[in-house]
């Protein structure tokens, strides 16, 4: 602007100077001089007006960029230099583009859904310069949005019926919602603000879709740090939502494949275990103990997956052992024992064909070496300490403990938990088992894992429930009852009304020192006199709730009832 002002001053000084020269150095009449002055003034006016128009256009473009969000309001207000403005604009766009590329790379590498959801939230909050963010996934069964990921909030789980709240509106319509004043928006649900004390000012919410174009979930960011969300923010979150949708769908597909493969190998292990009635279920129990040990030892998720697969398949080689030896009622002869010991080598041979080119190609060796001892006295290879992986050491502890306590052999009876733990201690003192792994197993009471997994206790706990209407899934009236029994998977309680099997309930259970809410599906209903005994299966139980419930079940002083549902 100062440059434009200087041009005006110089142009009119030059005009005056020319007029003075013409008057002093020419014989033109006054009329001719006036004509020359007018023409010069017109030319200078045209030049200056062009400069004014260009400056105005630059100013208009600048304001438009601010309005669209490409520039910050405080940037370059004095120069209005188009090149500088465009440079700043391009830099901001490129930064957003580079951030999206980096986020895409991170999302594509993550195979755990829980970690992926946390990663999306973390990166969305950073990219959008927002105070908080929430990621909702759509549950087709209950027709609601649910989320365990509500950043920095006290509540870990949020559930919304489809169409309720701004997020519910976005899920229902499939359109972005940019709300500059949430408190004045009729769609805004202030329930969570009241619960948490958080003050929602503005909201930007975008839908996520699967490859069929069906709603997958919603990303929501709250309270932009420097004002309200704008069109540029909408374009950013749209791109991010598209990437997140693909990543979530791929991760779910990966987990489904993993689940299918686990089911397949568990079936194989079950068939092998079933050949000998005494060892039925042994492989699955060893896998559960091994996974718990691996987690307690701080192994990574991919290591846990490899450990679990090796543990489930650790006895697969027994399929090559003749029944007359494997099921012999009595003590093995030395020759028979040598045949049985070969199952470890057979395990490696069988699994090498399955995992030869897989990223899990270590599994055959891990599974085959669970009978190795640190002092070199084990089989099939006689390996010593440094040559025995931590995975094989873990499976060895789990295998021995389960063999000692879980089943009777024709030639020996199962022993008590205390006796089995003492044997583990002695084996570790003799440098056969890993002492650290044995200590972790005992210190963390991982030997109680089976009880935690299957126990069902008879106890009266107060509970409240709402029936989610099968037609519209709107919350109905609150009802109260008491539990008859409860397990880690579900509970049984009495109701006056007949709740149809397949219905979904929102349930709040009041334990002695804590409460938690969950969604349950009615799986059975039996009329007893004038009431109905209703059994529900827990749906989407949070990790925190599972841990609390398992702890409660394990420490409860009542004797567990039968394991059947």
Q: What is the pLDDT of residues 223-237, one digit of tens each?
A: 998 888 888 888 888
The enclosing H or E element of 58 equals helix 30-68
Query: What percent helix, strand, coil does the chain show, rounded to 5?
Result: 55, 20, 30
Question: How far is it, in rounded angstroms, from Cα 14 to Cα 37?
Answer: 11
- List all residues 6 or more positions away from 436 whose beta carbon is below 8 Å from its beta carbon: none
DSSP string of 111-155, one letter each residue: --HHHHHHHHHHHHHHHTTEEEEEEEEEETTTTEEEEEEETT-S-
Length in residues, the chain: 565
C-alpha–C-alpha distance, residues 68 and 92, integer Å: 12
Domains and CATH numbers, the chain: 1-109 (no CATH), 111-253 (3.30.450.40), 275-453 (1.10.3210.10), 456-555 (2.40.10.220)
* Pairing state between β 158-161 and 504-510: unpaired
E strands, 163-296, are 177-179, 203-209, 215-224
Q: What is the pTM of this model?
A: 0.57
Buried b (16+ CB within 10 A) or exposed e, 305-316: bbbbbbbbbbbb
Are residues 303 and 294 in contact, defined by beta-carbon separation less than 8 angstroms? Answer: yes
pLDDT of 127 reads 85
CA distances (Å), origin 49, targets 10, 44, 54, 55, 78: 15, 8, 9, 10, 20
pLDDT band at 74; cut points 50, 70, 90: very low
Is there a cis peptide before residue 480, judged by omega within 30 degrees of 0?
no
* 227/67 Cα distance (integer angstroms): 12
524 has which bridge partners? 535
SS3 463: strand
Tokens, residue 282: 């042994």
Span between the terminal Cα atoms of the chain, in Å: 81
| Residue the block writes with tokens 């969604």 | 519
At 563, the pLDDT band (50, 70, 90 cuts) reads: very low
Question: 414-429: per-residue pLDDT in tens?
Answer: 788 899 999 999 999 9
In terms of Cα–Cα distance, which of 176, 151, 172, 152 is closest to 160? 172
Among 299, 245, 303, which residue's Cα sits nearest to residue 108? 245
For 390-416, the pLDDT digits (tens) are 999 999 999 999 988 876 565 566 788
- pLDDT tens readout for residues 229-278: 888 888 888 888 888 888 888 888 877 777 777 777 778 877 777 776 66
Residue among 180, 135, 175, 141 nearest 161 (CA): 141
């Amino acid at each position: 602007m100062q440059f434009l002002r200087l041009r005006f001053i110089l142009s009119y000084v030059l005009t005056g100077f020319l007029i003075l020269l013409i008057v002093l150095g020419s014989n033109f009449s006054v009329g001719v001089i006036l004509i020359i002055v007018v023409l010069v003034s017109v030319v200078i006016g045209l030049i200056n007006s062009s400069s004014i128009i260009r400056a105005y256009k630059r100013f208009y473009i600048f304001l438009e960029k601010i309005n669209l969000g490409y520039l910050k309001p405080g940037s370059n207000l004095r120069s209005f230099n188009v090149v500088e403005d465009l440079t700043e604009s391009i830099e901001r766009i490129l930064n957003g583009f580079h951030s999206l590329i980096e986020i895409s790379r991170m999302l594509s590498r993550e195979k755990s859904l829980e970690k992926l959801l946390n990663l999306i939230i973390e990166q969305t909050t950073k990219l959008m310069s927002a105070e908080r963010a929430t990621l909702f996934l759509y549950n087709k069964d209950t027709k609601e949005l649910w989320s365990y990921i509500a950043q920095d909030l006290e509540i870990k789980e949020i559930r919304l019926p489809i169409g309720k709240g701004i997020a519910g509106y976005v899920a229902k319509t499939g359109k972005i919602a940019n709300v500059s004043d949430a408190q004045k928006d009729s769609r805004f649900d202030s329930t969570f603000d009241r619960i948490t004390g958080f003050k929602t000012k503005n909201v930007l919410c975008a839908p996520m879709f699967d490859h069929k174009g069906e709603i997958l979930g919603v990303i929501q960011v709250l309270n932009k740090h420097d004002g309200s969300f704008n069109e540029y923010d909408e374009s950013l979150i749209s791109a991010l939502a598209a990437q997140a949708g693909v990543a979530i769908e791929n991760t779910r597909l990966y987990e489904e494949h993993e689940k299918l493969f686990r089911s397949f190998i568990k079936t194989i292990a079950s068939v092998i275990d079933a050949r000998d009635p005494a060892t039925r279920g042994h492989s699955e129990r060893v896998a559960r103990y091994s996974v718990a040990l691996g987690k307690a030892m701080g192994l990574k998720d991919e290591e846990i997956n490899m450990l679990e697969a090796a543990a489930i398949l650790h006895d697969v080689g027994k399929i090559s052992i003749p029944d007359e030896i494997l099921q012999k009622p009595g003590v093995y002869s030395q020759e028979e024992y040598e045949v049985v010991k070969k199952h470890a080598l057979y395990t490696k041979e069988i699994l090498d064909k399955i995992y030869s080119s897989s990223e899990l190609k270590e599994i055959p060796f891990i599974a085959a070496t669970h009978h190795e001892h640190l002092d070199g006295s084990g089989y099939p290879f006689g390996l010593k300490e440094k040559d025995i992986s931590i995975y094989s050491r873990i499976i060895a502890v789990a295998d021995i403990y389960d063999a000692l306590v879980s089943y009777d052999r024709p030639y020996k009876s199962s022993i008590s938990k205390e006796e089995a733990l003492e044997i583990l201690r002695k084996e570790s003192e003799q440098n056969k088992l890993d002492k650290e792994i044995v200590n972790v197993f005992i210190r963390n009471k991982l030997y109680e894992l089976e009880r935690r997994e299957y126990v069902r206790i008879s106890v009266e706990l107060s509970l409240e429930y709402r029936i989610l209407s099968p037609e519209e899934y709107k919350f109905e009236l609150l009802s109260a009852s008491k539990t008859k029994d409860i397990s880690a998977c579900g509970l049984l309680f009495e109701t006056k009304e007949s709740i149809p099997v397949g219905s979904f309930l929102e349930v709040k259970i009041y334990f002695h020192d804590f409460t938690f809410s969950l969604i349950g599906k009615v799986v059975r209903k039996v009329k007893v006199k004038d009431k109905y005994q209703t059994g529900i299966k827990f749906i989407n139980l949070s990790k925190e709730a599972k841990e609390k419930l398992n702890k409660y079940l394990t420490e409860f002083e009542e004797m567990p009832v039968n394991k059947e549902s």
